[in-house]
Amino acid sequence: MTASRRYRVIQWATGNVGTRALRTLIEHPALDLVGLWVNSDAKRGRDAGVIAGIDPCGVIATGSVDDLVAMDADCVLYMRQGTDMNELCRLLASGKNVVTTRGDFHHPASMDATVRDRIEAACRAGGTSIYSTGSSPGFITEALPIPLLSLSRRLDLLTIDEYADLSSRDSPDLLFNIMGFGRAPRTFDPRQIDHVKGDFAGSLAQLADAAGIAIDAWDAVGEMGVATRDIAIAAGTIVAGTVAAQRITISGLRHGQPVLRFRANWYCGRDIDRTDWDLRPSGWRILVQGDTPLDVAISFPVAPEDYAAFTPGLTAHRAVNAVAAVCQAAPGIRTTADLPQVIARFQ
């Protein structure tokens, strides 16, 4: 990688993750923010620095796809809600590489063939590449397991547990109405399970392909844990007998047994009826079972009141750090397995 090379980057959207990426771009020593796409009328015409919460930088936000497609830029950080394939094809064909936190491109072989062919054709036309990444899926399901498994010659089971303690999140509508905490136990919404499966099965399938792990089928299961007492959280109260914890497990099966497994553990309290669940503080645990067993735990030493400011960086920063590697990659849909290691540059 050429350390002296600078890259011209467009930020696409300014949600929680996009706004963190925007600020990081403005402050980055080797990246130049040259454009900003926003969806909100209230943000159009505003300075990107102001939107990012820092001093003005001279880049003005726009909602015009045409203007940004025509702009001279090396890369787009694509972080909008929902994936617009027409938009992406235009950007790629115009000569702009794309790093996205959307989960559509973790495993090209799993994509709809028509969509994949359109994206690949746009990459060929523009001489560009596109890469999906983030913290989860991405870092924890691909970038970290790859070197961990390099210590092994036999894998029996890789289990990745993600823990999210939501008790300090003051978002009643999200927790109670959307996610279903504080309700009577019920059957898991299949749409919620399918959403998680779509992102994580693709990411784990990339790992399986790279390591030569044969997967016969992908399984997804949702479970709930019930509060054994009333639990006071920032958003309200979880009453005893209602849902206080949820777990979605995505498993890659070989001969009917899991060999790759991701478990999303979301909870508002740990006093639940599921004594078999080891609910740890927010973070990750990777358990490698095989001829070189490993147990790797990652926690976040951040005060609960600082979580809202901390968590967007986990996803945004890896995408920003991947810009140089993606710009230098061969055209096409790129994956963590075929890219060089993403290295952060601080000066």
- At 304 the pLDDT is 84
- At 4 the pLDDT is 67
Neighbours of 314 (CB within 10 A): 17
Neighbours of 250 (CB within 10 A): 27
Distance CA 231, CA 234 (A): 10
Distance CA 252, CA 313 (A): 29
Strands, E assignment, the chain = 7-12, 31-37, 75-78, 97-100, 129-132, 155-165, 217-226, 231-233, 236-238, 243-254, 257-267, 283-290, 294-299, 332-334
- At 1 the pLDDT is 44
Report CA-CA distances (Å) from 291 to 140, 152, 153, 155: 21, 6, 7, 7
Q: Which of 83, 142, 139 minimizes the C-alpha distance to 116?
A: 83
- At 305 the pLDDT is 85
Q: Which CATH architecture has domain 7-133+322-334?
A: 3-Layer(aba) Sandwich (3.40)
Distance CA 139, CA 137 (A): 6
**Residues 43/33, Cβ–Cβ less than 8 Å:** no
- At 308 the pLDDT is 85
Burial label for 153, CB within 10 Å (0-12, 13-18, 19+), is exposed
- At 22 the pLDDT is 98
State the span(s) of the chain assigned CATH 3.40.50.720: 7-133+322-334
pLDDT tens, per residue, the chain with 347 residues? 445 689 999 999 999 999 999 999 999 999 999 999 999 999 999 999 999 999 999 999 999 999 999 999 999 999 999 999 999 999 999 999 999 999 999 999 999 999 999 999 999 999 999 999 999 999 999 999 999 999 999 999 999 999 999 999 999 999 999 999 999 998 888 888 998 999 999 999 999 999 999 999 999 999 999 999 999 999 999 999 999 999 999 999 999 999 999 999 999 999 999 999 999 999 999 999 999 999 999 999 999 889 889 999 999 999 999 999 999 999 999 999 999 999 999 98
- Alpha-carbon Rg for the chain in angstroms: 21
Long-range contacts of 123-127 (CB under 8 A, 24+ apart): 123/92, 123/331, 123/332, 123/333, 124/331, 124/332, 125/92, 125/93, 126/92, 126/93, 126/94, 126/95, 126/96, 126/331, 127/95, 127/331
- At 347 the pLDDT is 87
- At 88 the pLDDT is 98
